[in-house]
Amino acid sequence: MGPELEASVAKLRSVFGSITLRALTVEDQPVSEQTIYERLAAPFHADELEWRVGRGGMKDKKPWAMLLCYMDARAVMRRLDAVVGPENWMDEYRSVQLADGKWACICRLSIRVPEGQWVCKEDGAEQTDIEAVKGGISDSFKRVAVKWGIGRYLYELGDTMVFSQQIHQGYPPKDQRTVSIQIKDGGDKFFGWCLPPKLPPKHMPPIEAKAPGGKKLTGVHAELWKAIQQAKGRHAKDYVDTGLAAASNKAGKVFQSIESITDEMAQQWLDSINKVDTP
């Protein structure tokens, strides 16, 4: 974390340190307000998603890469458990041989809907080159999950370009979530990393920021906390988690602190965070 970002975070913690911030989870969203299908299709938190290089290259000895965002099988399982309960979904698998002689795995994902009946959907994937059976099972599971709406919005993202200014050479820091970048372009080779790209606001979970007394933040104050939540998972855990841990120790001064902050001051800090927290 650079000194400019450190200074901004220190300011935020000094005033907002006792505010509880979290992204709403699917468990928080009443069934009466959202159908089971809408809850399954809700965006994931940024730290539940993974990124990988789709393609990359070297231009004038500088690296570039196109990144793809994806969900892993564990994220799908957690979503199913949270929305319908672990007892209300099941997955079954079978192998089929394709015309070219290769094998594919078919996954049937069944969910017991609120009316009581089981609804089934199927999709498949070829066995992978590495850990063929395991890879085929995992890929087919994720593909059929998309038919239930889980992670379907990720297809809208397409490729995300990262340029040489965003890519760092060598091994990544241990206290950050990063994307590994390895490029072979003719005789050029590159090994390095970058931060996970930012997601568009429409692909982020809804955010609520409340003081311990229950007062909900709105306007620019809420936007400020959304910016911090967006940064979570892209920077050291210290960026958000330490501030929230310290918050519980300062719970008596909450409302005086919140009410003393002007919209103009909050906007300045929001601009500062957005400036330093670039993709």
| Mean pLDDT within 113-120 | 89
pLDDT at 98: 87
Which residue, among 82, 22, 77, 31, has the nearest Cα to 229 in the 3D structure? 22
| Mean pLDDT within 151-176 | 90
pLDDT at 246: 39
Specify if 22 maps to a domain: yes
| Mean pLDDT within 90-108 | 91
For residues 133 and 18, state if they share a domain.
Answer: no
Extract the tokens encoding 151: 């992670």
Q: What gap in Å lies between CA 48 and CA 44, rounded to an integer?
A: 6
Please, which residues bridge with residue 89 across strands?
111
Which residue, among 122, 126, 141, has the nearest Cα to 95 in the 3D structure? 126
Strands (E), the chain: 20-23, 49-59, 62-71, 89-97, 103-112, 118-126, 160-162, 168-169, 179-185, 188-194, 207-210
For residues 50 and 179, state if they share a domain.
Answer: yes
The DSSP letter of residue 88 is G
For residues 103 and 143, state if they share a domain.
Answer: yes
For residues 52 and 179, state if they share a domain.
Answer: yes
pLDDT tens digits, residue range 63-96?
Answer: 999 999 999 999 999 999 999 999 999 999 999 9
Would you say 239 and 229 are in contact if contact means Cβ atoms under 8 Å apart?
no
CATH label of the domain that carries residue 94: 3.10.450
Q: Which positions ≥6 away from 196 have C-beta within 8 Å?
A: 46, 49, 51, 177, 178, 179, 233, 234
Rounded to the nearest 5°, which phi and psi values hold at 121? -135, 150
For residues 146 and 174, state if they share a domain.
Answer: no
pLDDT at 258: 38
Owning domain of residue 33: 3-70+165-276
pTM of this prediction?
0.67
* Across 10-24, 86-100, 254-268, least confident range: 10-24
| Mean pLDDT within 49-59 | 93
pLDDT band at 240 (very low <50, low <70, confident <90, very high): very low
Extract the tokens encoding 53: 């290089």
Specify if 219 maps to a domain: yes
Among 126, 154, 182, residue at a domain's last position: 154
Q: What gap in Å lies between CA 36 and CA 32, rounded to an integer?
A: 10
Would you say 23 and 204 are in contact if contact means Cβ atoms under 8 Å apart?
yes
Tell me the HSE value of 164 on the side-chain side, using a 13 A CA sphere.
8
For residues 23 and 83, state if they share a domain.
Answer: no
Specify if 135 maps to a domain: yes
Q: How are beta strands 188-194 and 168-169 bridged, if at all?
A: antiparallel
Q: How many domains does the chain have?
A: 2
For residues 202 and 242, state if they share a domain.
Answer: yes
Among 92, 124, 154, residue at a domain's last position: 154
Q: What gap in Å lies between CA 50 and CA 5, rounded to an integer?
A: 24
Specify if 159 maps to a domain: no
